[in-house]
């Protein structure tokens, strides 16, 4: 088993020990899309859905999700997030969600960025499900990850 394996020699799952790593500025970005019917897009634009302002609520849900990622994914480290951005934008066929998460730590924030995008998209789905039965969530992708030494 390699240094970064989550399975020990007895076949048990464990968190990776990152205690030997120096803290660095870590950043990750992710994106995802939800395809919606044209009528649903118009309802979102007009803020006319019964559950409220879809884009703002989805953005807040995504931020909350980034902060709670280690509660959702069993072997994910708990991180002190220093920045979480979630931006929902209407596109031709639906809504695109872009996320950016930063921390100063010993491991990256990829899972937090992906979780933020996923939960923001699921929130949109939940808020629109009464009016759109053909929604498709797709293309949830990590678009960038960086680490920079502290100065």
For residues 59 and 121, the answer to whether their CB atoms sit within 8 Å is no
Residue tagged active-site, from 17, 71, 126, 132 = 126
Distance CA 149, CA 151 (A): 6
Strand blocks (E) in 8-133: 24-35, 81-91, 94-105
For residues 139 and 33, the answer to whether their CB atoms sit within 8 Å is yes
CA dihedral 47, 53, 55, 59 (to 10 degrees): 170
Q: Would residue 10 show up in a list of annotated catalytic residues for this protein?
A: no
For residues 86 and 29, the answer to whether their CB atoms sit within 8 Å is no
Distance CA 102, CA 27 (A): 4
Give the tokens for residue 27.
């950043």
Active site residues: 126
């Amino acid at each position: 088993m390699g240094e970064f394996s989550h399975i020990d020699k007895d076949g048990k799952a464990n968190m990776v020990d990152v205690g030997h790593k120096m803290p660095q500025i870590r950043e990750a970005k992710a994106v995802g899309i939800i395809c919606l019917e044209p009528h649903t897009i118009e309802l979102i634009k007009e803020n006319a859905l019964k559950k409220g302002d879809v884009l703002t609520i989805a953005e807040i849900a995504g931020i909350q999700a980034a902060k709670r990622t280690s509660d959702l994914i069993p072997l994910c480290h708990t991180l002190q997030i220093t920045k979480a951005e979630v931006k929902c934008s209407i596109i031709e066929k639906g809504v695109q969600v872009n996320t950016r998460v930063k921390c100063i730590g010993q491991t990256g924030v990829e899972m937090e960025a992906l979780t933020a995008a996923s939960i923001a998209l699921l929130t949109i789905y939940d808020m629109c499900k009464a009016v759109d039965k053909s929604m498709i969530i797709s293309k949830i992708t990590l678009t960038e990850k960086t680490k920079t030494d502290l100065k």
